[in-house]
Structure 1
Amino acid sequence: MEFRYLKYFVAVAQTRHFTRAAEQLGIAQPPLSQQIKKLEYELGVDLFKRLSRGVELTLAGEVFYADAVNILADVERAKAKIRQIARGEHTEVRIGFATSTSTCIQVLEKMGRLQHENINLKTAELPMSELAAQLTSKQLDIAIMRLPCYASESFERRLLLDDPFVAVIPADHALAQFDCIRMKQLREQKILLFPRETGPALFDGMHTLFADAGIRLEPHLAAPQLRTTIAMAQAGLGIAIVPYSLAEHLDNSVVVAKIEDIKLTSRIVVAWEASNLNKQVLKVVAKLSQTDE
């Protein structure tokens, strides 16, 4: 059995979708399907039930998934040991921020608690996909990520804060008179959203949410990032649905309204690889996830 089969299988099992798994792995979908079929042939069992909108694990697949995850984790731990032994113990902790979390005041305040610790912090701001890749490859020790996120499911995680979605409405819009709205009021409105490749899990969740509420999305209103949708709303191009932390301290060109019945929430977490042996990492995680008094 080839080692990459395990990685492919786990990716499909976690995303429940061949196309999404292929995007996460950075390969084309047809070769991924072929490799999974070869794995199933080699094992002599079906690992997935193929459905019209994705896949589900069979009973054999569920058993194999638990073992595959453990095997991959063991390999990563072994690799981490060698790398960290080679470079020796250090006090440096490399932290990556998802683009949509880098200006979150609550997170920055938590970072401030580390100022007087004997830890050398190196920070970087990256898209979610690159953030997950660098965490896996040990180029980063810690990542501040926004959930939902398919790529984060293999990491250890601790919640930093819940970050509910709000509507950012142009000041001259009819809905700007309300400080709290319902989903049905967004029907027939121009909703600003980001492309799926920016954040597949978050995009899928929001797309399903809007579809269930009878809200039609217009692809030409897509923005590169969550923060860009706010700038577009400030320019009067439509209504942006974003986590509250991104909508704090905006000018009077827009109104920020709560969405009373929205069924999707966003969470900001600190994530790290369980195989990371840098002793300072858990110290930083503990500080960041410390509950405010």
Structure 2
Amino acid sequence: MTIDRRPKDIAVNGIALPLRCNKPCSGSSDGTIRLWDCHTGQCANVINLGGEVGSVCSEGPWLFVGMPNVVKIGAEYSLNGPVGQVNALESVNDLLFAGVEDGVILAWKGTCESNLTFQLAATLKGHTHGITSLVVGGGNRLYSGSKDHTIRVWDHENWQCIMTLNGHDDVVKSLMCWDKYLFSGSLDCTIKVWASTDDGCLEVIYTHSEQGILALSGMTDPDVKPILYCSCSDKSVHLYELPTGRLFAKQEVQTLQIGPAGLFFTGDQTGLLTVILSLEILVIMNIEDKTV
């Protein structure tokens, strides 16, 4: 008989690369933020926050962490207001957006200069279930994906919802803006590409069927060809626009992050953080490693 003594809730739910930090940061459902040495695969530091980390993002040198009922900036400064788990974060310029399990998006305006100053600027309501993904695009637009199967488009200058997109039949897990297009991935086993019409609306111009979509990310290769990375419920990461390839994980890859110099990071349900360079796996880092 085999006894599994591993921690039960160790899924990597976010990866971020703060400016001037040469170590990627991962946030996990075990309540920790970990910094990793990409050369050795060893954990360089562990910050125990005492609550499940649902999402992370960075702006400049600062790390934002989404947790139950709070967004933390670093380990000390906290933004209160969320009701439930914060499952999505997006930061752009002087705005920070948090997507919460109750379907509300909170927007703070502030600065991460020497004196941290953030003020709640808006509460965006419209989704009927939890927020799963956020991305900022051109034209002052914020896109939100939800468990209610919809994508909402918000003007983040006047804080109004300007349209609701109903193309998916299941949870919208991930959103990505690329050039003039919006990509959406859903548990309904489709990736959809949206483009603006002459009247300013968004319509689906392409649908690709795949396993349940968990996360999307994109980058360009050395020849400036676009590459779409798509993690799926079959425990693989699919690559498009290059010769077909798949990167297999031990469990579902819940989060993807593009880094500098061709680096690409994946985090999965078992707590493994994998670093890939030019599609070659360099090192696998296990969040169960207690080395500090």
Q: What band does the TM-score fall into relative to the shorter chain? A: under 0.3
Q: Which has the higher contact order (CA 8 A, sep 6+)?
A: 1
Structure having the higher strand fraction is: 2
Structure having the higher helix fraction is: 1
Larger radius of gyration: 1
